[in-house]
Amino acid sequence: MLHLVSANASYEDSIALTDITLHIPVGQKLALIGRSGAGKSTLLKLLYDQRPTDIALVPQDYGLVTSLSLFHNVYMGQLGRHPLWYNLLNLIKPLKKPVGEVQSILSVVQLSDKLFEPIGQLSGGQQQRAAIARAIMQNGDILFADEPVSSLDEQQSNLVMKVLCQRFETLVLAMHDIDLALKYCDRIVGLDNGRITIDEPTGSLVRKDLLDIYGE
Amino acid sequence: MYAKTCLIFTVNKLTVSKGLRFRRSPRWKVSWLFVFVALACLPFADLSISTYDPWAELGRLFGGLLQPSLVAIEKPFEALLQTLAFAILGVSSGSLIGFGLAQLFHLRLVRIVCASVRAIHELFWALIFLQIFGLHPLTGLLALGLPYAATFAKVYAEILEEGDRRAYDTIRQSAGPTSAFFYARLPDLWQHFVTYTGYRLECGLRSSAVLGFVGLPTLGYYLSTAFLEGAYAEVWALLILFYLVIASLRYWLRPKLLPLYILIAPFIIANDSEISVDNISRFFTQDIVPLPLRNSEGLSGLWQWFTELFLTEALPGIINTLLLTQIALVLTGLIALIWFPLISRLFFERFGRLLGHLFLVIMRSTPEYILAFILLTLWGPSMLPAVIALALHNGAIIAHLMGRYSNTLSLRVDATAGMNRYAYEVVPRIYNQFLAFLFYRWEIIQRETAILGILGITTLGFYIDSAIQDIRLDRAMVLIAITAALNVCIDSLSHYIRSKLRLSIGSQQISAESRR
Amino acid sequence: MTTLLRRLGISLLISLSLISVSTSVFSAPKTLVFSAIPDQNQSQLVQRFGKVADYLTKTLGVPVKYVPVNSYAAAITAFRNNQVQLAWFGGLSGVRARLLVPDSEAIAQGFEDTQFETYFIAHHSTGLKPSDNFPESIAGKSFTFGSKGSTSGRLMPEFYIREHLGKAPDEAFNLVGFSGNHSRTIALVQSGAYQVGATNYKVWEKELAAGKIDTDKVSVIWKTPTYPDYQWTVRGDVDSVWGDGFKARIKQALLDMKDPALLDAFPRSAFVSASNDDYQPILDTAKEIGLID
């Protein structure tokens, strides 16, 4: 479904990715692991550009609008599916139907009590879950997420990973938490210095080996 | 960039139920409050359109655009040089004095004096100094330098305050405050000072040109004359000349060349009029002394004189000034919100943005006076041309600042496009900055109503101009003082609202540009 | 960076001192300066009045220079501040100037100024027709004066408006404006921006002759009774600067000005003798309607 063959990428004069070949079939849950600067975000971007229209995205900086409420930020996942007048009306006065839909998604990520709180007043972990809620609101089959649980505690991380696996058919997650990657994903791609150095099904990998090379 | 806007991070003590009720933000409420105030002002403002045959005149106006000509203007390039020379000397002396005052800005007295000096429009300073020094170059120099010094003092002081003091505090004891200042503070802040001062020089050019409207030998002199005579070919030639100067600013206005310009400028503005001590003392001891005191009618006479002046001129002037300001302010905001996408890379490709830039440059470089003049011909005399002229000019300035600010935003790659992007992604992110810019300009818009008063719109500026034309300087001074007081009020109200809403502009560079 | 700052400071200081030095150096030979109120078309003013300056220089034997000003008040102030010693004023501005400069004197007026008139003009859409009586139906229309300090464009029309309508202009009209000068008044009424206006009859006739007026759109509806208007006023202290009898020589030079090319600048057919007393009616009128305290 997503394919890269011998792809390269570079920023100005530094090379970010070298000779990447990757095929991701439908239904796969893939984790990209590697130290900071290994090229995870760049690879994610490269893959995303293949099919930008039907991928739900959780960027590393969440991409939230801090002055709008949590409700509106989550609703943004559906902007494309409603006429403009509806969106504008909903901006000024939240409408019943979208409020209900957003509320049900927020209850899944345990944020339903913050519905109309401005995003700027939420903590880092709450903002991260808001970004995930927005991705869920998009109601797609594929999710790309860059460090989706980096600001969450262990209990919440597990909750979010579980939700993501349920809601999306295909997952591509850049992660540095190797335990979570092993627990929820079925394929691990390891990056080091812009190259793929490992690409195996989860079952065949040992935690300690990965930690040595890719641990933070 | 958006991380900056979430500086407002209060401890979250809100209960569960609170988060579940949709509450509109205070900024939203304040915005609507201003809209309602402006709507409430509408019935009291005369916004009628009363022309019958504007087309012949307008035809000639735009016919002039097709064949701009400098032939009938006696010394266009001389006027241009005068404009440049006054601007360069006025702004640089203002900046030097302002720099000194900024060091004393913690003193209440200095702040009050600066605020009152700033509150009086350059045109009124020029009218006052014309009485004292006549056509001597000092008139123009002071009319520009004084209000600019006061503004520089304020902004420089803000830059100093926002800067990092740690290095300075570390070495101050051993090095002494002056050396410590030059070593530990100035180097960090220098760029901010230079950026702001350079920006003000552009404003100074506009101001210098506008001073011609009251008789200084700058571009405005010929512009207003050409306008009054309907010599539109000359009007356009002068305007185009002016746009070219503004647009080419960055090519010839180099910090290294500035000392040279400053040395040449005095020879350009010098003329053979003299300063007479008698005139100066007469101004202070007779001209501005209220008539009843000159005629020794005592305090009761003075009170009667003042009440009469207040009720027949000041009060209607204040009312019209406020009506015009509030309506123009809201319209300015609306125009800025509509126009800023023109230069934003979030909405337009390179070519579209280029056209947008061109449009905004023309709108913001055209003095309000000219816009109002054109609209006055089109719609006849009412407050309408004034409102529209102020809103177009100021709206273009804020649109430019917002557009540039929006270019620093990075949206996530899957953000929507078009109106959805505008309403959900962009406007909410820049609304803070937008309100801050708008509130900064509030007081400026009010000050600018003065210029339109000279065109005949009955703001306070109209009555001040009338008093000057009648050579009743005592009345003019009272009216100018009232105008200044009104301006200080608006300035502090704006300051109060900005601090209540925690509106700040963020990066120093952009903030510098919005404060004129 | 600090050197730049220092260099800026030094050059600024030098230049400020240069202003005072250069201005005093330039003023070494004593020049008689004259000006004129900007009542009409201002283009080529320096050229037009430059010829008058040349004539006066030749006749008086001292350097004479013309400086342009762009408002009535600026002309008065320059005269008062002794930056101008001789001025071509209107009736009202002359009265004001002479009140402010005690020994100053009206010495000559245009032949036409002994019997000056103001024309009330109206846009065709008002349906107003020319008449010998004051057109009282102008009440409630929009009205424009010329400059705020003009005699023919402000003082006299306001006087007759008050006399016939019994009200101040702001109350008598729907809207009152000040166009700035007489040419502009004509243009604004012609465009319909204002329905009615008051203008100087000399300017009207000059522009009519020049083909700038479309009489289908704007026409004269009433002419005021005559009054004294423009005059040359000179400061009282000129004799002490340029020698005894200098004032009389200026007056003679003006009365002797016969060249139509020179007289065209004003525009007048000739200059005749005048005195301060000739303008008493103007002073009285100005006091009556509150333009002079």
pLDDT tens, residue by residue, B406-426:
988 888 877 888 889 999 999
Give DSSP secondary structure letters for B118-141: HHS-HHHHHHHHHHHHTTSHHHHH
Mean pLDDT, rounded, of chain A: 87
| Residues of chain A contacting residue B23, judged by C-beta atoms under 8 Å apart | 116
Task: Tell whether the model's pLDDT for residue B516 goes beyond 70.
Answer: no
Report if residue C291 sits inside a domain.
no
User: In CATH, what number is assigned to the domain containing residue B152?
Assistant: 1.10.3720.10
Task: Tell whether the model's pLDDT for residue B272 goes beyond 90.
Answer: no
Write down the pLDDT at residue B9: 38
Report if residue B203 sits inside a domain.
yes
Give DSSP secondary structure letters for C59-112: HHSS-EEE---SSHHHHHHHHHTTS-SEEEE-HHHHHHHHHHSTT-EEEEEEGG
Residues 16-55 of B with CB under 8 A from A: 16, 19-23, 25, 27
Residues 241-280 of C with CB under 8 A from B: none
Minimal Cα distance from A71: which residue of B?
B22
Report if residue C260 sits inside a domain.
yes
Which has more pLDDT, B450 or C217?
A: C217
Using the beta-carbon criterion (under 8 Å), do B93 and C77 form an inter-chain contact? no
Task: Tell whether the model's pLDDT for residue B508 goes beyond 60.
Answer: no
Distance CA A105, CA A101 (A): 7
Report if residue B15 sits inside a domain.
no
Write down the pLDDT at residue A176: 83
Q: Is A95 on the interface with B (CB under 8 A)?
A: no
The answer to whether the CB of B512 falls within 8 A of the CB of B152 is no
Write down the pLDDT at residue A17: 83
pLDDT tens figures, C170-226? 899 988 888 888 888 998 898 888 899 999 998 899 889 988 899 999 999 999 999
Write down the pLDDT at residue C130: 93
- Bridge partners (DSSP) of residue A171 are A29, A143
Q: Are residues C103 and C245 in the same domain?
A: yes
User: In CATH, what number is assigned to the domain containing residue C265?
Assistant: 3.40.190.10
| Residues of chain A contacting residue B13, judged by C-beta atoms under 8 Å apart | none
pLDDT tens figures, A13-71? 667 788 888 888 889 999 998 888 788 888 888 888 887 777 888 988 888 888 889 99
Using the beta-carbon criterion (under 8 Å), do B432 and A76 form an inter-chain contact? no
| Residues of chain A contacting residue B412, judged by C-beta atoms under 8 Å apart | 57, 59, 61, 63
Report if residue C292 sits inside a domain.
no
Task: Tell whether the model's pLDDT for residue A103 goes beyond 90.
Answer: yes
Distance CA B286, CA B279 (A): 10
Distance CA B3, CA B85 (A): 44
**Mean pLDDT computed over B94-102:** 94
Write down the pLDDT at residue C139: 93
Write down the pLDDT at residue C192: 84
Amino acid letter, B310: F
Which has more pLDDT, A172 or B135?
A: A172
Q: Are residues C177 and C121 in the same domain?
A: yes
Write down the pLDDT at residue C18: 58
* Identity of the residue in A61, A94, A119 whose CB atom sits nearest the CB atom of B22: A94
Cα angle value B144/B148/B153 (rounded, 5°): 155
Write down the pLDDT at residue C129: 92
Interface test with B, best of C40, C48, C70, C96 (most B CBs within 10 A): C70
Which has more pLDDT, A9 or B444?
A: B444
Write down the pLDDT at residue B11: 38
Residues 88-117 of C with CB under 8 A from B: 96, 100
Task: Tell whether the model's pLDDT for residue B148 goes beyond 90.
Answer: yes
Distance CA A99, CA A116 (A): 10
pLDDT tens figures, C244-259? 999 999 999 999 999 9
Task: Tell whether the model's pLDDT for residue C80 goes beyond 60.
Answer: yes
Please identify, among C177, C196, C223, the residue that sits at the C-terminal boundary of a domain: C223
Write down the pLDDT at residue C41: 63
| Residues of chain B contacting residue C177, judged by C-beta atoms under 8 Å apart | 381, 456
Task: Tell whether the model's pLDDT for residue B472 goes beyond 50.
Answer: yes
Task: Tell whether the model's pLDDT for residue B5 goes beyond 60.
Answer: no
Task: Tell whether the model's pLDDT for residue C150 goes beyond 50.
Answer: yes
Q: Are residues C19 and C64 in the same domain?
A: no
Q: Are residues C121 and C218 in the same domain?
A: yes
| Residues of chain C contacting residue B260, judged by C-beta atoms under 8 Å apart | 11
Q: Are residues B299 and B425 in the same domain?
A: yes
Write down the pLDDT at residue A52: 77
Write down the pLDDT at residue B398: 93
Report if residue C91 sits inside a domain.
yes
Q: Are residues C93 and C37 in the same domain?
A: yes
pLDDT tens figures, B347-363? 998 999 999 998 998 88
Q: Is C62 on the interface with B (CB under 8 A)?
A: no
Q: What is the ipTM metric for this complex?
A: 0.81
Assign B216 a pLDDT band (cuts: 50, 70, 90): confident
Distance CA B232, CA B64 (A): 5
Write down the pLDDT at residue B169: 78
Helix (H, G, I), strand (E, B) or coil at B240: helix
Q: Are residues C265 and C251 in the same domain?
A: yes
Write down the pLDDT at residue B16: 44
- Nearest of B139, B210, B176 to residue B372 by alpha carbon: B210
- Nearest of A45, A47, A32 to residue A214 by alpha carbon: A32
Question: At CB < 8 A and 24+ separation, what contacts does B177-185 make?
Answer: B182/C2, B185/B160
Q: Tokens at residue B7, please?
A: 């500086």
pLDDT tens figures, A149-176? 988 999 999 999 999 999 999 999 998 8
Residue % of chain C over a pLDDT of 70: 88
Write down the pLDDT at residue C109: 94
Distance CA C50, CA C43 (A): 13
Report if residue B195 sits inside a domain.
yes
Q: Are residues B266 and B370 in the same domain?
A: no
**Mean pLDDT computed over B30-52:** 88
* Identity of the residue in B25, B414, B429 whose CB atom sits nearest the CB atom of A65: B429
**Mean pLDDT computed over B51-77:** 77
Using the beta-carbon criterion (under 8 Å), do B221 and C293 form an inter-chain contact? no
Report if residue C200 sits inside a domain.
yes
For residue C195, the enclosing domain spans 117-223
- Number of domains comprising chain B: 2
Q: Are residues C206 and C122 in the same domain?
A: yes
Which domains, and CATH codes, for chain A?
2-214 (3.40.50.300)
Using the beta-carbon criterion (under 8 Å), do A120 and B416 form an inter-chain contact? no
Which has more pLDDT, B510 or C127?
A: C127
- Number of domains comprising chain C: 3
Q: Is B308 on the interface with C (CB under 8 A)?
A: no
Q: Is A48 on the interface with B (CB under 8 A)?
A: yes
Residue % of chain B over a pLDDT of 70: 92
Report if residue B117 sits inside a domain.
yes
The answer to whether the CB of A69 falls within 8 A of the CB of A116 is yes
Assign B482 a pLDDT band (cuts: 50, 70, 90): very high
For residue B175, the enclosing domain spans 70-287
Write down the pLDDT at residue B504: 64
Write down the pLDDT at residue B365: 83
Using the beta-carbon criterion (under 8 Å), do A80 and B423 form an inter-chain contact? no
Write down the pLDDT at residue C40: 66
Report if residue C216 sits inside a domain.
yes
Task: Tell whether the model's pLDDT for residue B512 goes beyond 90.
Answer: no
Using the beta-carbon criterion (under 8 Å), do A121 and B21 form an inter-chain contact? no
pLDDT tens figures, B312-338? 999 999 999 999 999 999 999 999 999
Q: Are residues B54 and B98 in the same domain?
A: no
Q: Tokens at residue B241, please?
A: 């000349």
Helix (H, G, I), strand (E, B) or coil at A12: coil
Q: Are residues C209 and C152 in the same domain?
A: yes
Give DSSP secondary structure letters for B14-83: --HHHHHS----HHHHHHHHHHHHHHHHGGGS------S-HHHHHHHHHHHHHS---TTSS-HHHHHHHH
Tell me which of B191-205, B293-307, C51-65, C135-149 is least confident: B191-205
Q: Are residues B106 and B255 in the same domain?
A: yes
Q: Are residues B298 and B266 in the same domain?
A: no
Write down the pLDDT at residue C29: 53
**Mean pLDDT computed over A131-150:** 91
Distance, C-alpha A75 to centroid of its chain: 17
Assign B8 a pLDDT band (cuts: 50, 70, 90): very low
- The neighbour count for residue A117, using CB atoms within 10 Å, is 21
Residue % of chain A over a pLDDT of 90: 36
Q: Is B224 on the interface with C (CB under 8 A)?
A: yes
Tell me which of A180-194, B495-509, C70-84 is least confident: B495-509
The answer to whether the CB of C198 falls within 8 A of the CB of C153 is yes
- CB-based touch A/C (3+ pairs, under 8 A): no
Q: Tokens at residue C88, please?
A: 């071509």
Q: Are residues C108 and C234 in the same domain?
A: yes
Minimal Cα distance from B276: which residue of C?
C81
Task: Tell whether the model's pLDDT for residue C4 goes beyond 70.
Answer: no
Where would I find the H helices in chain A? 40-48, 70-75, 84-92, 96-108, 124-137, 154-167, 178-184, 207-214
Write down the pLDDT at residue B179: 79
Q: Are residues C216 and C248 in the same domain?
A: no
Please identify, among B254, B287, B320, the residue that sits at the C-terminal boundary of a domain: B287
Number of H helices, E strands in chain A: 8, 8
Minimal Cα distance from C41: which residue of B?
B229
How far does chain C reach from its first CA to its final CA, in angstroms?
Answer: 57
